[in-house]
Copies of this chain bind each other. A is one copy, B any other.
Amino acid sequence: MKKASLKDIAESLGVSKALVSLVLNGKGDERGINKQTQEKVRVKAKELNYIPNQYARGLRIGRTNTIGVIVPDISNVFYGKLCKAIEQEAYDKGYNLIISNTYEDVQKEKKLISDLINRNIDGLILASSFDSKNEIDGLRNDKFPLVLVDRVFDDFDVDSVSVSNVAGAKKAVEFLYSKGVKRPVCFSLSPVYISSISERIQGYIGALKNPDDAKLVQIPHNDIEGGVVTALAELKNEDYDGIFCVNNNIAKALLRELAIQGDQLTNVEIISFDDIELFDIVIPKVSAIAQPIKEIGKTAVKLLLERFANEDNHKTKGVVLDTVLIER
């Protein structure tokens, strides 16, 4: 059961390892190697069940065919699906993935980035929790292949894939108005250094008929449940009839709290950024601004591979994808 190597094929055929390597890497024609010899090599490789040793190859080539992926939390459905999309695309192209979670912990994120680089990844796809682009400026200066997803930084010269958060949030607010809502509230996250969140807030404010009506509820990101409880209590005394949640975590917490309180909030229209299965099942109904998760993942991998293929004079790209309104 010992694994066959190039040498085994070469010896059993009476040719050199170099020739075998060339043929198996598809450079046979280019190098003008005899068609019949090529065929013999391929047959023998199959017969011996030859599996190239990626590590010998990696050592020689200087690449490892491994992409690092860092997300806040893979058990959050949004990131679960994103990783799935990335995995699928990467796998098709012959790349492995190393996936890690930060749990929004900035220190852990720093450590993970250097750990992954220590493990010789070829490139990194990052949904960062950093509050500042300075944290990853080092990567950019080292010209390390990096693609930001979901959360990006303004005026930052790296590849990125995000969605039109401002436009999406606008769509959400306009939907609320179309349902007869007079005064929509935004359930937001604090602190709001994460680009996606701040853009959604900006979209919310921009879409208000009367900007003075803006009502932003800050929910602490490390205690979403508690923040929602406080928010609901506070709003009891206010005159509002629509809620826009900036992400699915907040909407989930809101729904859970309503379930606990036995309140169905019948006079309030709710919409959330991020569409999740839950919204199909639960009362009250929650509409959503859905993100094209598959395309985000696919595009991120594509950008990385373009960069690999074109290391010297790569032009960075900021891809922005559109969202879709799901009415319920």
List chain A positions with a Cβ less than 8 A from chain B: 1, 51-56, 58-59, 64, 66, 73-75, 77, 80-81, 83-84, 87-88, 91, 96-101, 115, 117-120, 142, 252, 255-256, 259, 277-278, 280-283
Contacts and interface: CB of A to CB of B under 8 A. Distances in A.
A94 to B, nearest CB: 9
A117 B53 CA distance: 10
A48 to B, nearest CB: 14
B83 A74 contact: yes
Contact of A283 (B59, B66, B97, B283): B283
Contacts of A54: 64, 118-120
A259 B280 contact: yes
Given A87-B101, A282-B259, A55 B51 contact: no
5 tightest CB-CB pairs across the interface, nearest first?
A55-B58, A75-B80, A55-B55, A55-B59, A80-B80
Contacts of A117: 51
B74 A80 contact: yes
- Copies of this subunit: 2
A120 B53 contact: yes
A51 B114 CA distance: 10
A51 B215 CA distance: 51
Contact of A96 (B87, B98, B252, B255): B98
A99 B97 contact: yes
Contacts of A53: 59, 120
Contact of A281 (B51, B52, B120, B259): B259
Give the one of A256, A278, A281 with max B CB within 10 A: A281
B87 A91 contact: no
Contacts of A97: 98-99
Contact of A84 (B75, B115, B283): B75
Contacts of A282: 259, 281-282
Given A54-B119, A256-B281, A278-B278, 20 more contacts: A51-B118, A53-B59, A53-B120, A55-B56, A55-B59, A55-B64, A74-B83, A74-B87, A75-B77, A75-B80, A75-B84, A77-B80, A84-B101, A87-B99, A87-B100, A96-B98, A97-B98, A98-B98, A259-B282, A283-B283
